[in-house]
Amino acid sequence: MKGSLFSTLILFLGLILMTRVCHCYGGGYGTQLQQRFYEGKCGGNVDVESVIFGIIKQKIASEPDTVSDLVRLSFHDCFVRGCDGSIFLDGDNTEQKAVINQGIGGIDTINDLKDAVEKVCPGVVSCTDILVIGARAAISLAGGKYYEVETGRRDGVVSIKSEAQAAIPPPTMPIQQAIALFAQKGLTKDDFVVLLGGHTVGTAHCHSFKDRLYNYRTTQKPDSTISTTLLQNLQKTCPLNDETDNEAFLDQTPDSNFKIDNAYYKQILAQNGVLEIDQNLASSPQTKDMVNTLAQGPDTFQNLFGRAMVKMARIGVLTGTQGQIRKSCGSINT
């Protein structure tokens, strides 16, 4: 009995120590995600995360949209087959070709990062992890709170257009359905509200919300939940008979369009949500309390956003002998 109790105690203490040292998250085939996974794996003093951070800093200086591109890419990758880099694969029937991914940016940025990383650490770092590390860098450089990421993912080898179209929620999805979809991915209702805060940066094309401006749900009238000022501004951006697919900032706060902050929540409370799902987030009984909390607490959003990104990045990861480390993000190794 004493021996058994002693062994149990040692195992328990060992598990605590492992958690504190590597912050592991269970993966497949006995391998786990962990912070600083690539430390010591590239030879010399190469710090992959620092290499990526430096390149992202340069990108943002010339292309502020880099921040929203990588946040959106993270979501669109992880919700289809898990976080496996499948969205990067080129081809006529791949996820990139799905209507829901129309106009998605950031692919070129990931390819540039991959090229740079391969030069200093060939064949070691997955495209999937490059996105995770790159998104963290972009978020922190745009005013978000720096957070530790877990790495050790491998890349998938399958990418199908129809799967992306079915898995990624459209901007018209009802809140209840969206919450249920996130729950299927292991994300809570609060995770859903926090992750939608990624809309504090970036834009949406007219095709994503134009029906709200002129013919909402075939009423031949605008969506009554849009503020008068926003409606007028969006109608100028997206004229009724103009087929030009212009863009509008998802966060309508002046001088905050490229910043990771809680201004988005303040805007949707003021009926300035550009997308239908944004505006419904502020009014739904299931989510409005959390929206109010985040609108009133900038530090609360900053603390929760990074945690939610880490949690999302655990969806369906490939580790161990699963998948591969792609030589090029756009194609599988043959």
Residue 17 covered by a domain? no
Q: CA 49, CA 138: separation in Å to the nearest integer?
A: 12
Residue 28 lies in a domain: no
Residue 155 sits in the same domain as residue 241: no
CA angle 158, 169, 249 (to 5 degrees): 110
- Angle value at C-alpha 101, between 95 and 102, nearest 5 degrees: 125
Is residue 221 domain-shared with residue 162, that is, in the same domain?
no
Q: Which residue numbers belong to the known binding site for heme b?
A: 199
Q: Which residue has the tokens 């592991």?
A: 24
Instruction: Report pLDDT for 103.
Output: 84
- For the chain, the average pLDDT equals 91
pLDDT of residue 45: 87
Catalytic-role residue among 23, 76, 205, 207: 76
* Residue 205 annotated among the catalytic residues of the structure: no
Dump pLDDT digits (tens) for 240-291.
Answer: 999 899 999 999 999 999 999 999 999 999 999 999 999 999 999 999 999 9
| Of 158, 120, 117, nearest in space to 134 by CA | 117
User: Containing H/E element for 195?
Assistant: helix 189-196
Question: Does position 15 have pLDDT exceeding 70, yes or no?
Answer: no
| Rounded Cα–Cα distance for residues 327 and 114 (Å) | 8
* Entry pTM: 0.89
Shared domain for 242 and 184, answered yes or no, is yes
pLDDT digits (tens, 9 = 90+) for 158-214: 999 999 999 999 999 999 999 999 999 999 999 999 999 999 999 999 999 999 999
Q: How many folded domains does the chain comprise?
A: 2
CATH of the domain at 87: 1.10.520.10
Residue 29's SS3 state is coil
Tell which of 110, 142, 168 closes a domain: 168
Give the Cα separation of 125 and 158 in Å (integer). 19
Domain co-membership, 160 together with 186: no
Please indicate, yes or no, if residue 333 is contained in any of the structural domains.
no
Measured CA distances, 278 to 90, 178, 239 (Å): 31, 12, 21
- Compute the distance between CA of residue 60 and CA of residue 272 in angstroms, rounded to an integer: 26
Q: How far is CA 171 from CA 45, 270, 278, 324, in A?
A: 45, 19, 8, 33
Q: Pick the range with the lowest mean pLDDT from 27-36, 213-222, 239-248.
A: 27-36
By the 8 A CB rule, do 121 and 113 touch?
no
Which alpha helices (H) appear in 219-297, and where do they start and end? 228-237, 263-269, 276-283, 288-296
Residue ranges of the binding site for substrate:
169
All residues at 6 or more sequence positions from 320 whose CB lies less than 8 Å from its CB, including other chains = 27, 28, 29, 30, 31, 154
Q: Which structural domain range is residue 111 located in?
A: 48-168
Q: What is the pLDDT of residue 102?
A: 86
Annotated binding site: 77, 80, 82, 84, 86, 95, 169, 199-200, 251, 261
The CATH number that applies at residue 264 is 1.10.420.10
